[in-house]
Each structure stands twice: as C-alpha cells, then as structure tokens.
Amino acid sequence: QVIVSFNQVSKVYRNGCQALEAINLQIRRGDFLFITGASGSGKSTLLKLMYGEERPTQGEVMINDANLAGLRGDRLSKLRRQIGVVFQDYKLIPRRTVFENVAFVLWAQGFTRKEIHRRLLPTLKLVGLHTKADCFPEELSGGEQQRVSIARAIVSTPPLLLADEPTGNLDPDNSLQVLKILKKLNAIGITIVLTTHDEQLVRATRDPVMQLRNGHLFQAR
Ligand code: ADP
Ligand code: ADP
C-alpha cells in the first residue's frame, strides 16, 4: 500500500531557485527510506512537500491517496496530524518540561487529560526518557533532546514519520542511538523517511537509500 506518492514533482521557489525537478517517488507502508544528498540538494524541500509546508510548482504529491494541492484548512490540518516530523534542531519549547513538550501536541488536538497521562509514559519509555519527564530541555544532552522531539512526533501515533537530518547535531554514538529508536518505531509499523548527509549513518543500515543531486532523485541502493 502506497502512502506517499510523488508524480513528476518540481519545486521552484519564488526567488527562482529550483530545488526539485521532476521527482517520481513511491513510499509504501512500513518502508524505512533514507534520502541522502549534499547540503542544498533539496532534502528539506522534499520533506516539506510531504507535510504540506511547501506546495509543488508542478506535479502531484499524494498522501494516502489525497492530493495535497486540493487540501486547505481543516482537511489539511487533519492530514498533517497523520505525519510526525522531527527536525535537526529539535524545536523544543525551552521553558516547558519534557512531559509538557510531548503532552502539548495531544492537548492541542483535544485529547483529555486522562488520555494524555495514559499515553505519555509508554511514549517516553519507548525513547528511553521516562526518568526525565520533569527535566527542562536545557538539562538534557543533544541526544536526549532529539529523543524528546521523537516522542513528541509519535505520541499521537501517526503512521508516517519524517525526520529531517535528525542526527545533524549529534555525535556518532548519539546518532546511532537515535537510529536504533527509529528502527524500533519502524518495526512496530511506522513508515519512516529520513534525510541525512551522514555517510556513517547510511552505512549502519540495510534499508533502501535514494540520493538527491541538484534537485534530481536517484536510487542509490
Ligand atoms: P516565504 O517563502 O513565505 O516568503 P521564507 O521565510 O520561506 O518566507 O523565505 C523568505 C525569503 O528568504 C524567500 O523568498 C527566499 O528568497 C529566502 N530564503 C529562505 N530560505 C532560503 C534558503 N534556504 N535558501 C535560499 N533562500 C532562502
Ligand atoms: P537541503 O535540505 O538538501 O539542504 P533544501 O531543500 O533546504 O536542501 O534546499 C534546496 C535548494 O532550495 C537550495 O538551493 C536552497 O537554497 C533553496 N531553498 C530552500 N528553501 C528556500 C526558500 N524558502 N526560498 C528560496 N530558496 C530556497
């Protein structure tokens, strides 16, 4: 079952910069897809098109058979809730605890207090942070902060997780730990798309790899 489909997708930014050209891509439920490429090759743009942060200049982006171009307002928000996103710089709220950072997503989606409490501990356990629930982000290492951001991305159980250079700010040990957690999530059925320019990370996996070069996508492995 295809959950993400790009059909001849191009993206030209308003300043004339062509970030992607004629991309064709199909991601199936349960895939773990690596997308590599140098800085500026279009990796972030590709993910932004998947979660509707940018719109294609040409072609179609389909998520679960819905054409993103046709979605606005509530229907777009609803689709976006099906997609967890993790960024290189974590994007945690500094003056909120780990618990609050993760709970916020559920609260914003109207979950009850009881349901939020029911979900939080298992999610924090999954990323190995159940003992850090009351810490503030600045009290955590980079690897731990990234694990909080992963918990936040998956706490509402989205079927699709996008990770944009999730290990970009981490040392090799922490990078592999983050990869291990993502593998675990993939094993329980979450489809994952991960961008990276870290060759070592790519070598640590046997999953399919695609490479972006100047806005063109190639099967690399
Ligand atoms: P918007 O696209 O809504 O105007 P942005 O903050 O995305 O707002 O971009 C503002 C301008 O800054 C863009 O029109 C673009 O020219 C420039 N810009 C933003 N990000 C980049 C980038 N990564 N590389 C080159 N130019 C950029
Ligand atoms: P990567 O994630 O691989 O570093 P990006 O998708 O961020 O690549 O960028 C691809 C190309 O598009 C780059 O040349 C970048 O400068 C340009 N770009 C990215 N965002 C914007 C923007 N908002 N406005 C204009 N150009 C942009």
| pLDDT tens by residue, the chain, 221 residues | 999 999 999 999 999 999 999 999 999 999 999 999 999 999 999 999 999 999 999 999 999 989 998 888 999 999 999 999 999 999 999 999 999 999 999 999 999 999 999 999 999 999 999 999 999 999 999 999 999 999 999 999 999 999 999 999 999 999 999 999 999 999 999 999 999 999 999 999 999 999 999 999 999 98
Q: What is the C-alpha separation between 156 and 57, in angstroms, rounded?
A: 31
Q: Which ligand is nearest to the CA of 13?
A: 2
Asked whether the beta carbons of 5 and 19 are under 8 A apart, the reply is no
The pLDDT, as a whole number, for residue 70 is 85
Ligand 2 pocket, 213 CB below 6 A? no
Tally Cβ neighbours within 10 Å of residue 193: 23
Name which residue sits closest to atom 25 of ligand 1, judged by CA. 17
Distance of CA 50 from the midpoint of ligand 2 (Å):
15
**What's the token pair of residue 140?**
């955590």
Distance of CA 12 from the midpoint of ligand 2 (Å):
10
The pLDDT, as a whole number, for residue 65 is 86
The pLDDT, as a whole number, for residue 212 is 98
Q: Which runs of E-coded beta strand occur in the chain?
A: 2-12, 18-28, 32-36, 58-63, 66-67, 83-87, 160-164, 191-196, 209-213, 216-219
Q: Which runs of E-coded beta strand occur in 165-215?
A: 191-196, 209-213
Phi-psi region of 202 (alpha: psi -120 to 50; beta: other; left: phi over 0): alpha
Q: What is the C-alpha separation between 89 and 10, in angstroms, rounded?
A: 27
Q: Mutate which of 11, 12, 15 to test ligand 1's pocket (most atoms within 8 Å of Cβ)? A: 15
The pLDDT, as a whole number, for residue 194 is 98
**What's the token pair of residue 211?**
């490479």
The pLDDT, as a whole number, for residue 43 is 98
ipTM above 0.90, yes or no: no
Model-level pTM? 0.89
Asked whether the beta carbons of 197 and 165 are under 8 A apart, the reply is yes
Strand, helix or coil for residue 157 = coil
Strand, helix or coil for residue 58 = strand
